Structure 1
Amino acid sequence: MEFRQLGKSGLHVPVLCFGTGTFGGSTDFFKAWGSTDVAEARELIDLCMDAGVNFFDTADVYSAGHSEEILGAAIAHLPRESVLISTKATFPFGEGPNNQGSSRAHLTKQIHGSLKRLGTDYIDVFHMHGFDANTPMEETLSTLDDFVRQGKIRYIACSNFSGWQLQRSLDISAQYGWARYAAHQVYYSLVGRDYEHELMPLGIAEGVGALVWSPLGWGRLTGKIRRGQPPAEGSRAKEGTAGGPVVEDEYLYTVVDALDAVAGETGKSVPQVALNWLLRKPTISSLIIGARNAEQLKANLAAASFTLSTEQVQKLDQASERPVPYPYWHQRQFGQLNPAPPSYR
């Protein structure tokens, strides 16, 4: 398994990370993702470890903390230093205005809660799960820096920030000498390329690694949907969930046609090709993959076992290209002044 630096930090992570949103299923929302119990989780984690994937991602809100508890129990048989744990906080966890956000009060409670649920005394990568516009960035970053200095967090990261929010956070950390965001957990896929417009160039310039969530485009790039074989109305793949982006049918079919062609050339599956395309892109430190069973997991793990050619990557680039928003379409008219970031690793 290939390991890459997490941004410009000193931490190296495998290019695949196992996401545990399917662990627990103790709320109606997460039950639709999966209901993996401790025994099943341990089997999946052991498969990951055998493949060289020792990076596991969870969050406090996944099944109201139950995902963290199951992950902690499922790795208890492993030496703590052999695994990397990523978790998150920001979204509501309980009732009341102080049980959400990135305030010192909420983060202190949630970090201690995550440590207890995970059964560990430190977290390798701790994310702000989303941006909290009500809390001063200085309060959030100073709190995280305190936990880093206490040894309870090794590295900090953010998720779902805009470009200005991430840049301002990095500037504040530099101003005060505080821990800085080493990574940004983002949505990026062949049918969701918005990350490339602003966040990828920022990641290149500032050394912030990307941890990619939903790399198969909310289930649209699993190979089950293609021209003449649309998803059922109302399905997760058709509509997305929890605010997932709408993808026009014809655009999706064009992308899947290109994936089918490359899959035929490589002898790999459609999802394996879609994942490998992401691994060829700049700033990508790791892809967060999920699986409900061992068969799905083994298939996803194989996505890191080959390398698409430059021509194959270009074919997928062209099929998935979309109009870019202002001011990027204007800047692209002056390529000598605004050169695009490098296309591939």
Structure 2
Amino acid sequence: MVLANSNMLEISGFEHQLAANGQCSMSCRDRHLIDALVQGMIAQREELREKRDAESKKVEISTEIVDGYWQHLAAHQNWAGVHPGYGYMPIGIHGDDGRYNNAGDRVIIVTLNLILARDTGQNQQRYPLFCLREFISLGFDSLEPVLQQLRWSIDVLSTGLHPRLGADGQDFRGRSRAGHSQATLTAGNMSYEGQAYPCLNLKAYNGRLFFQYFNIVLRATLATSNALDDGLKKELTLACSCSTALCAFLDMCERSPRKLTIEQADTMHDSVQLFLKLYQLLVLQSHRRGIPRWKVVPKFHTLLHLVEDQRRELLNSRSYHTFLDEDYVGVFKQLCVQAPKQLLEFRCMTRFYLRVKAKR
């Protein structure tokens, strides 16, 4: 309740300031608030760009890497060879939201991603373009001006020509120049579905890390528990085998490069096949004992399609799935927790890019 009251007071503060300055209607003030937010972020980004040291460390992606990427796609996917962007530097746009406190408040984040950059830990690969707390979002009305800017910017990059008109359709000349969840668990991660299935809901880095721990715990429990009935021992054995198979897939996925060998793709395919078969047996065994701990999850079937695509295309699913993007959401959530809540969006964007500046 305290948090809700502070949020309402903050909105009232914005409205009071806008009304005092502009003497405009409620809808007009909402529009001005969004415009001011977007313009403030653009201005901050431009200021950081102007101050960047010319000799600073930058993400470098060679022509050979880009050419090899497209040649590999053309060899394994029919659409790639005739794609109008063949040979261009591929970039990604990722949008997501994340909860940053126990009260359930969420922040919306849109990032620009350099998908061919190597994850060396020295260079930033995810750049926030926009963020907004969900409770002050007006839905698509809030996102539309941002998406219009993104669409226009990507069109400019695609043509490679200095734009004549801006995103607003006005003359552009002289205006500008073309240019991981964290390892934390909260009470909200735990649930009890249907009063039958205890669930720990994890994603991205949290999920990969905790699953390794889960596998170790199952192995230790099975090795040290001697006085078990046959049904429970069989269930523990199946659970241990399931987690080992999935850990094998995640391990190979993490260690393999973007372009897979046939052996790497086959290893991941076999691991997922084994996991799915064992998990079906695990669910049946649990229900036979009358203690349903393991739920049938239809989403698991998508893992099969994932590894089948890897065998056909010889591309690591980690390179086009959202593992890195999900991990980045955690970085931004941490900023949301640390920053004062007034003008949170502006503060988080500024602090993030100052960190990028400091690393350079």
| TM category, shorter | under 0.3
* Higher helix proportion (structure 1 or 2): 2
Could you tell me the TM-score, scaled by structure 2's length? 0.25
* Higher strand proportion (structure 1 or 2): 1
Greater CA radius of gyration, 1 or 2? 2
